[in-house]
Amino acid sequence: MEAPERNLALDLVRVTESAALASARWLGRGDKNAGDKAAVDAMRLSFNSLNIRGTVVIGEGEKDEAPMLYNGEAVGSGQGPAVDVAVDPVEGTRLLAYGRPNAISVVGLAPAGSMYAPGASYYMKKLVVPAAATHVIGHDDLDAPVGQTLRKVAKALGKDLDDIVVFVLDKPRHELLVRDIRAAGARIQLHTDGDVNGSLMAVDDRAEVDVMLGTGGTPEGVLSACAIRGIGGRMVCRLDPQSEAERQRLLNDGVDLDRVLLETDLVADDNVFFAATGLSGGSFLRGVQYRGRGAVTHSLVIRGKTGTVRYIESNHNWDKLMRVSSVQYD
């Protein structure tokens, strides 16, 4: 028997809550950069209070030319465990900017050296299923006929195929995928953005989504793997460059574009910590609710080592919080 260790996920949720409280002020105001900046600034300050020696592996990154929370940045107090850090201060910046559901703030931690670094890869093809279907899904299913894969998942879940709901990003690249899912007889939820949210919904028993399919962000895939290592489920994926320039950069770096990866390849240790807080609300995590002198947030918190999943509703009091907080929320 091991003595209980500190659950860093309960510290992480303060980081995602701070980002959510700061950025949700920009809900529906049409300025995705301002909303993202508010989240990044708040998240960076909040990290300073965490006793970790963190290195950002998945950050705002090269694609966003970020001045903070960039890949390779050191975060935390400089004391405590050495960890890899994955962040997305606003997953779904356009969702937040246009007041659409399912924007979230997300952070994952894993032991140093255990997190996959995507390098020049922006996109990957993904298949995500819940824990009950893990035993029927393997490397070959990423390229198997969609109907065949969905039938296996439906059987594993004890459902009819027409009961299955598939999360797909509503992008031109998925036109054929959508046709194949419909032809198989399954149902579809089309989302404009937010494939971390899609992965979370696919592995969470509370959500109505059963499967996530299609090509989305590579950083988002690593973030999703942090949650899947804790909550259970299976992710099968492969880098899927969407431009010749991206493809050539990966080949120049010696990356094997044919390699199929699992969630265990993206995060090699199950001693992971994950937190997500809702920004704009939706079917999965409710958004920030401002109430004059305070606010309410709703979060998902996962500790991988024990498989503990918590859903946290937090009531924030401006009068007390602003006495100690360096982030201006009210």
Annotated binding-site residue numbers for Mn(2+): 36, 60, 88, 91, 220
CA distance 152 to 231: 21
CA distance 324 to 9: 21
- Residue closest to 229 by CA, chosen among 206, 205, 200, 258: 200
In the structure encoding, which two tokens stand for residue 95, read together? 């969702």
CA distance 124 to 257: 10
Contacts of 31 (CB under 8 A, 6+ apart): 97
CA distance 29 to 8: 34
Identify any residues that bridge with 74 across adjacent strands, giving them in sequence order.
Answer: 55
Residue numbers belonging to the annotated binding site:
36, 60, 88, 91-93, 123, 171-173, 193-195, 217, 220
CB 274 within 8 A of CB 108: yes
Contacts of 323 (CB under 8 A, 6+ apart): none
Residue numbers belonging to the annotated binding site for substrate:
91-93, 123, 171-173, 193-195, 217
CB atoms closer than 10 angstroms to residue 292: 7
User: What is the maximal distance between C-alpha atoms in the chain?
Assistant: 58
